[in-house]
Amino acid sequence: MTDIRYLAPRTLDEAVGAFAAAAGAARILAGGTDLLVQMRAGVLRPGLIVDIKKIPEMTSIEETADGGFRIGAAVSGAALADHPKFGQVWPGVLEAVNLIGSTQVQGRASPGGNLCNGSPAGDSVPAMIAAGAIVTVQGPNGRRRMPVEAVPAGPGRTTLAPGEILVSFELPPRPAGSGDAYLRMIPRTEMDIAVVGCGVSLTLQDGVCTAARVGLGAVAPTVLLVEDAAKALIGSKLDDAALEAAAAACRAVCRPINDKRGTIVYRTKVAGVLLKRAAGIAAERAGRA
Amino acid sequence: MAKLHVSTTINGEPVEFLTEPGESMLDVLRGPLGLTGSKEGCGSGDCGACTITLDDRLVCSCLMLAAEAEGHEIRTIESMAEGETLHPLQQKFLEMAALQCGICTPGVLMAAKSLLERNPDPTETEVRFWLAGNLCRCTGYDKIVRAVLETAADMREAAR
Ligand SMILES: Cc1cc2nc3c(=O)[nH]c(=O)nc-3n(C[C@H](O)[C@H](O)[C@H](O)COP(=O)(O)OP(=O)(O)OC[C@H]3O[C@@H](n4cnc5c(N)ncnc54)[C@H](O)[C@@H]3O)c2cc1C
Ligand code: FES
Ligand code: FES
């Protein structure tokens, strides 16, 4: 690993400048739990590593004035878990982030790295999509904002333009009666890659679902926002027919791979099962909120 | 390529070293710094044999660049005993034979110590999940988990 340069700028402008100037030869370093594995495996050999963790905006968690949250892209899962309030408001997002790897991996792994690594099986991504998170990115041409589901472009690819850095996730304020949940299916109980992952966020008023979003992972080249599943839930009392319609909508968008971890038929079936279970947990949490 | 100069704190002492930009913390610990307690089992974050703390958080030192240590505080297994006095976890691991070859042990001990600092009374399930990133090819885990639970009980008793 010689001939690599390492920079740890203290401002975002410096980071963007260095990242853009190095063109395709540079890589952003957040927790390194994907990047350093790929470098050691010889898959990647960047000329410049830009460590973004010395930039305060990248590692801070803030409650916004309207009751939402702003999470720096490089915040570690362990830091998010230690936040006194975040897990109460967004238990599903927190459980998804905390499913990434072991305790040691949690010490470093970030939701920004999980999203930018571009894996269709990234655990935090379906939960962030369900939460309606908006990301801010900054590049040589300034800042822009977009919904989190607009970032993945395919396995290992994102829609970020050359030189653009993911800065933060913004989660909206929660109306009363809201809850979210994330479930993944893996063959073991820990330390494995999702065969299917499903995030659900919903709001209940007098037992009726007034808002819902569903994110589905590991069943297509990118993590998906499943709007038809949300439509099936909204307006219902989450009765069996509504849940089955939402599960069918999830199965309908599946275009999974066939591999040793799960066949196409199995992944498709499990997508519907996880939707129902995650919706049930989200509803129970909404009842308490 | 020019080496980077890094100033950091390791096991409470200020330390300075030079590193290649792509070099891992584990390689610098085990090489120039001579702290060979942390082991390399996999180099890819899977086994936990290289576990250290960075500002009191558990991390895999194989998945951290040595350059990232600048301005931070690192602790390794070498800081666990105080002189000749073993940490209660180390003592219990010996008494209960919670190690065989010992390669996983430094990482397991670092992780277990951090767990007990956060949660002095963990359940067996909590211990197993917390240590899921520490692989052991010898013990079958049961002795490790029991040693951690017994140490926790002893430490709670001692703290009363
Ligand atoms: C043992 C082990 C177990 C794992 N288990 C899981 C698991 O269960 N579920 C799961 O989803 N993942 C898992 N992973 C993968 C990995 O930990 C996650 O994807 C993690 O979230 C990556 O975050 P990071 O901060 O470490 O990213 P990094 O490795 O720092 O970055 C990942 C990629 O994103 C780019 N990047 C990072 N931040 C930004 C940014 N702000 N702007 C632009 N580009 C950026 C980097 O250049 C790199 O290409 C595991 C990894 C290991 C080693
Ligand atoms: S050597 Fe670091 S996790 Fe295995
Ligand atoms: S004692 Fe040999 S690997 Fe754990």
DSSP conformation letters of A90-146? -HHHHHHHHTSS-HHHHTT--HHHHHHTT-TT-THHHHHHHHT-EEEEEETTEEEEE
pLDDT tens-digit profile, chain B (160 residues): 589 999 999 999 999 999 999 999 999 999 999 999 999 999 999 999 999 999 999 999 999 999 999 999 999 999 999 999 999 999 999 999 999 999 999 999 999 999 999 999 999 999 999 999 999 999 999 999 999 999 999 999 999 8
> Based on the domain organization, do B93 and B74 belong to the same domain?
no
Q: B29 vs chain A: nearest CA distance in angstroms?
A: 17
User: CATH number for the domain including B70?
Assistant: 3.10.20.30
Ligand lying nearest the CA atom of residue A123: 1
Token look-up 């939460």 returns A131
Contacts for B90 with CB less than 8 Å, ≥ 6 apart? B80, B81, B109
Residues B106 and B70 in one domain: no
Give the amino acid at B110: M
Both B74 and B95 in a single domain? no
In angstroms, what separates the C-alpha of A266 from chain B's closest C-alpha?
27
Instruction: Nearest by CB to B64, from A4, A32, A191: name it.
Output: A32
What is the rounded distance in angstroms from the CA atom of residue B49 to the CA atom of residue B4?
A: 26
CA A279, CA A198: separation in Å to the nearest integer?
9
Note the pLDDT of residue A7. 97
Which chain A residues contact residue B68 at CB under 8 A?
Answer: 8, 29, 32, 51, 53
Residue after which a domain boundary falls, among B33, B51, B79: B79
The verdict on a CB contact (< 8 Å) between A102 and B133 is yes
- Starting at the earlier edge strand, list the strands of the sheet with B73-75: B13-19, B4-10, B73-75, B51-54, B57-60
Give A-chain residues touching B48 at CB under 8 angstroms. Answer: 102, 104
Q: Residues A196-210: what's their mean pLDDT?
A: 97
Q: Which domain holds residue B32?
A: 4-79
- If we measure between CA atoms, which residue out of B151, B37, B38 comes closest to residue B94? B151
Q: Which of B49, B79, B109 is the last residue of a domain?
A: B79
Angle between helices A264-288 and A240-253 (to 10 degrees): 140
- Chain B residues with CB under 8 Å of A101 CB are 45, 133
For β-strands A157-158 and A152-154, DSSP reports them as: antiparallel
Based on DSSP, count helices (H) and strands (E) in chain A, helices before strands.
12, 14
**In terms of domains, do B73 and B95 share one?**
no
**In this structure, are B123 and B75 located in the same domain?**
no
Candidates B20, B47, B50, B60, partner chain A, best to mutate (most A CBs within 10 A): B60
Q: How far is A151 from A149, CA to CA, in rounded Å?
A: 5
CA of B38 to the centre of ligand 1 (A): 23
Q: Which of B4, B24, B45 sits opposite A6 (nearest CB)?
A: B4
pLDDT of A2 > 90? The answer is no
Rounded distance from Cα A287 to ligand 1 centre (Å): 33
Give yes or no for residue A249 having a pLDDT over 50.
yes
The finding on whether B102 has its CB within 6 A of some atom of ligand 3 is yes
Q: How many other CB atoms are found less than 10 A from the CB of residue B116?
A: 21
* Total domains in the fold of chain B: 2
Taking the Cβ of residue B68 and every Cβ of chain A, the question of whether any pair is shorter than 8 Å is answered with: yes
Instruction: Give mean pLDDT, residues A236-254.
Output: 98
Residue A219 in tokens: 């069943």
A6 → closest Cβ in B24, B59, B65? B65
My answer on whether B145 and B105 are in the same domain is yes
Same domain, B97 and B147: yes
Q: What is the ipTM of this complex?
A: 0.96
Query: Model confidence over A115-134: pLDDT tens digits?
Result: 999 999 999 999 999 999 99
pLDDT for the residue numbered A192: 76
Q: Which atom of ligand 2 is nearest to the CA of B43?
A: 1
Q: What's the mean per-residue pLDDT of chain A?
A: 95
Q: Say what the pLDDT of residue A261 is.
A: 83
Among candidate residues B60, B79, B98, the one where a domain is terminated: B79
Q: Is B69 near chain A, with CB under 8 Å? A: no
Q: Say whether B64 and A36 touch across the interface (CB within 8 A).
A: yes
The sheet carrying A5-7 orders its strands as: A5-7, A48-51, A26-29
pLDDT at B1: 59
Instruction: Report CB contact under 8 Å: A103, B133.
Output: yes
Which residues of chain A make contact with B28, given a CB cutoff of 8 A?
none
Q: Which of B109, B118, B120 is nearest to B147 (CA)?
A: B109
State phi, psi for A182 to the nearest 5 degrees. Answer: -135, 135
**Residues B104 and B63 reside in one and the same domain:** no
Residues B118 and B62 in one domain: no
Taking only the tens place, the pLDDT of each residue in A256-268 is 999 888 899 999 9
pLDDT reported for residue B41: 97
Percent of chain A at pLDDT > 90 equals 92
Give tens-digit pLDDT for A20-58.
Answer: 999 889 999 999 999 999 999 999 999 999 999 999 999
pLDDT in tens, A154-195: 999 999 999 999 999 999 999 999 999 999 998 876 667 899
Give the Å distance between the CA of B101 and the centre of ligand 3. 5
> Do B19 and B53 fall into the same domain?
yes
Chain B partners within 8 Å of A32 (Cβ): 63-65, 68
Of B22, B48, B63, the CB nearest to A108: B63
Residue A193, pLDDT score: 85
pLDDT value at position A1? 45
**pLDDT (tens digit per residue) in A90-118:** 999 999 999 999 999 999 999 999 999 99
Confidence (pLDDT) at A34: 97
Closest C-alpha to A98, from A111, A112, A84: A111
Helices A91-98 and A264-288: angle between axes, nearest 10 degrees: 140
Domains of chain A: 5-119+134-171 (3.30.465.10), 178-288 (3.30.390.50)
Look at ligand 2, atom 3, and give the residue with the nearest C-alpha.
B45
Same domain, B64 and B98: no
Is B99 in the A-facing interface, judged by CB distances under 8 Å? no
B14 with B39, same domain?
A: yes
- Please tell me what DSSP assigns to residue B91: H
- Provide the pLDDT for residue A190: 66
